[in-house]
Amino acid sequence: LKKIAVLTSGGDAPGMNAAIRAVVRGAIYNKLEVMGVIRGFEGLIENDLIPMDSKSVSNIIQQGGTILKSARSKEFMTKEGRQIAYDNLKQHHIDALIVIGGDGTFTGARVFSQEFNIPTVGIPGTIDNDLYGTDYTIGYDTALNTVIEAVDKIRDTASAHSRLFFIEVMGRDAGFLALRSAIASGAEAVLVPEISTDYKKLDAFLKNSYNKEKSSSIVLVAEGDKISGGAIKVAERVDKEHPDYNVRVTILGHIQRGGSPSAFDRVAASRMGVSAVEALLDDQKSVMIGMVNNEIVYVPFNQALKHKKPLNPRLLELIEILSI
């Protein structure tokens, strides 16, 4: 192993830059050459690669986004696209790949690594925290902090007007971000895709909590919750059925993806980045770096992708206990 490439792909997440820095410096420390691919797999197809040295990753550990840019590549899903990507890797004498991203990224990486026998290691970077085999993904902790800061602010105005807010949180089809931020922000309820909350239950809860003369009520709605159909739909319905409730909606949107990474994400990204280089040196071929009980583990891509990560039911229970 002499030369590796690193890329970020899919939705960006705070801490991706810290991971890039760790990969580049971890590679240099181990006497490897390293190139950065611009715009993920898209850049691999377009042959947009740049050599990276220690200085090229100076002063980025604290920056959100990704200096390598990101994309969701359609062309990489085709055999022809992947062939071009492989030819470009060979042209640059690159022996192995480190990809930072989520499940879409690892799905592509797995196929590519098998097709062309290119050793590939993944670093989980997504605010959704939805990857099986790791307790945390890079960006999740920062996004949680962003969500609770926003909800705290909404709580101020909700209390001033005794309002009921439905706040929509990202997470694609998983409820990790919504559930943990609901606990941390003291939300009265949370709607997540993993648990079906029907309207009857929601209604009973609202009658119980909102009518208890609480100064405000906040319900976090995971964007992927199919039953409610999202915060706007659920709010419309509640508003129609209870015109006496003072209902408002906020969709937090992409602010959840930005910002300077938290200390937790910076440390996790630094550990995972160096571990990814070490995994390649250790002859790993198709694995994701994970963190379980604060220890680094290797998770085969097919395992990380095949299983659905379960929500911790105890955390759901906590919401119920703490919102009485």
Binding-site entries for ATP? 11, 72-73, 102-105
User: What is the separation of C-alpha 308 from the centre of its chain, rounded to a whole number of angstroms?
Assistant: 15
Question: Is 70 or 216 the residue whose CB approaches ligand F6P more closely?
Answer: 70
CB closer to ligand F6P, 253 vs 313:
253
Q: Least separation, in Å, of the C-beta of 110 and ligand F6P?
A: 18
Query: Cα–Cα distance between 255 and 251 in angstroms, integer?
Result: 10
| Rounded Cα gap, residues 294 and 70, in angstroms | 28
Radius of gyration of the chain (CA): 22
Q: Report the interface residues with ligand F6P, using CB under 6 A.
A: 11, 102, 126-128, 170-172, 223, 257
What are the binding residues? 11, 21-25, 72-73, 102-105, 126-128, 155, 163, 170-172, 186-188, 212, 214-216, 223, 248, 254-257
State the binding site for substrate.
126-128, 163, 170-172, 223, 248, 254-257
Q: How far apart are CA 191 and CA 182, in angstroms?
A: 10
**If you search the block for the tokens 């196929």, which residue do you land on?**
111
Active site residue 128: yes
Query: How near is the Cβ of 153 to ligand F6P at its closest, in Å?
Result: 21
Collapsing DSSP to helix, strand or coil, 25 comes out as: helix
CA pair distance 137, 152, nearest whole angstrom: 24
Q: Shortest Cβ distance from residue 306 to ligand F6P (Å)?
A: 19
φ, ψ of residue 3 to 5 degrees: the values are: -140, 135
Please identify which of the residues 12, 95, 128, 265 carries the catalytic annotation.
128
Phi, psi (deg, nearest 5) at residue 282? -90, 10
Buried b (16+ CB within 10 A) or exposed e, 80-112: ebbebbbebbeeeebbbbbbbbbbbbbbbbbbb
Q: How far is the CB of 270 from ligand F6P (least distance, A)?
A: 22
Catalogue the active-site residues: 128
